[in-house]
Every structure is written in structure tokens, then in C-alpha cells.
Chain A
Amino acid sequence: GNSVTQMEGPVTLSEEAFLTINCTYTATGYPSLFWYVQYPGEGLQLLLKATKADDKGSNKGFEATYRKETTSFHLEKGSVQVSDSAVYFCALRGGNNRLAFGKGNQVVVIP
């Protein structure tokens, strides 16, 4: 079945540092890929998405590229702010039309 794997553990970094969160997936066919963000006490919000190989999704300074050859969709941001502190979820929607989520990564940005 479809599955998403995110790197283990929380990520703590200083303001203006470079952020990378790894995401790899297993799916049949051609899934759509998503990154969702969850701020404290809130529901999930779509951060960015990509629907086919080599597509780059971007929003609020975050980027992720759909790499079919490595089945990856890593999230990056060049200079994080304290306001980027949140939980980030990688997800895919495959041929069964159901969303599959990774376990999420807590990101803490220290001033």
C-alpha cells in the first residue's frame, strides 16, 4: 500500500538557519505529494504540493521537488523564522484517493 516516511525526531535550529526535512514515499502509479503544516492548537494547513515528477511546490519561502527517481519530496527553507515553529507533515494521495501521512516532524526555531 501507499506509505510516507519522514526523518525521525524533532528539529531544533536557530533563526536564519537552513531547514531540511526529509520525506520518502512508497506508492503505485503517480501520486500527488503534499506538505502540511500544523501550528500549535490548530488543524493542518496545506503548505505546498506537487502533482507530477520534477514539479516544484513552493510557498512562504518553503520548497519541495517531486523526485520520482528517488521517491522523495524533501522540504527546504533557506532562512527560518521563529514563526516557522510548527509540526510538518508529508503526505501523498495515490490511486486509492486516500491521503497517507508521515509521522510528522516538530520544528523548533530558537531566536
Chain B
Amino acid sequence: NAGVTQTPKFQVLKTGQSMTLQCAQDMNHEYMSWYRQDPGMGLRLIHYSVGAGITDQGEVPNGYNVSRSTTEDFPLRLLSAAPSQTSVYFCASSYAPGPRAGTEAFFGQGTRLTVV
């Protein structure tokens, strides 16, 4: 059972370049999300999706785009990379959560991105 798979694990970009971080899950989860992790900041939500064809913004969406054409895949696009986007990026998935359900989120291994 692969769970949540992120690629690549490491990436170096030059300022202004674009790229796509891939995320795939094989658990048939409706809910997927992208976070960035920065020192002293914890995890901050970038974008999320509650199902195929539906996406919404999180806390820090600027500079990132997402789409959800299938249940399995949720790619994150950086349109024009900036040094401020240097971070570790995590994708997560879960079943459709309910407030009392205690629905667990499963995380990928992360992508460490450096923008120079």
C-alpha cells in the first residue's frame, strides 16, 4: 500500500522558473491538501480539495496553483518561483472529514524545494 506519494523529493529552481510538485494517493480519499513547513512556523495550508473538480485556497495560496482532475492526483504548481518559496512541501489526504470523526490525515514524505 503506497499511501501518499510525492515527487520529486528534492528540487532546486532558479528565480522565475516554474515547476509542478506531484502528489498521488491510492486510498480513494476525497480530501487532499498541500502544506508548506518552515522553521518556527509549523505547517501552513496552501490549497486543498474536497473532491475531484473542487479546490479552494488555504492560508498562504499566493504564488501557487492547484487542480484536481482525478481523485488520486493533486499537483501543486509554482508559476514563477521566488526565494520566499524555499520550503518543505507536504501533501496530505484523508476521507471526507467530520468534526467528530477524528479523521486521520496521511502525509507524503515531502518535497524539499530551494529557490536560488
Contacts of B43 in A (CB 8 A): 44, 89, 101, 104
A98 touches B102 (CB 8 A): no
Q: Which of A14-22, A29-37, A73-81 contacts B (4 or more CB under 8 A)?
A: A29-37
Cross-chain contact B90 with A43 (CB below 8 angstroms): yes
Interface size on A, residues (CB 8 A): 27
Decide if A97 touches B42 in the complex (CB within 8 Å): no
CB distance from B90 to the nearest CB of A (A): 6
Give the secondary structure class of A's interface: loop
Q: Does B98 belong to the interface (CB within 8 Å)? A: yes
Known: A42-B109, A43-B107, A44-B107. A99 touches B45 (CB 8 A): yes
Chain B interface size, under 10 / 10 to 19 / 20 to 34 / 35 or more: 20 to 34
Q: Give A31 to B90 CA distance when docked, in angstroms.
A: 23
A99 touches B105 (CB 8 A): yes
Are B40 and A49 neighbours in the complex by a CB distance under 8 Å? no
Q: Is the CB of A51 within 8 A of B101?
A: yes
- Across the interface, B99 reaches (CB within 8 A) one of A31, A41, A42, A44, namely A31
Q: Please indicate the chain B residues that have their CB under 8 angstroms from the CB of A110 in the complex.
A: none
Which of the residues B42, B96, B99 comes within 8 Å of A102, measured between beta carbons?
B42
Distance, CA A97 to CA B33, complexed state (A)? 12
Using CB atoms and an 8 Å cutoff, list the residues of chain B in contact with chain A. Answer: 4, 31, 33, 35, 40-45, 48, 50, 58, 90, 92, 96-105, 107-110
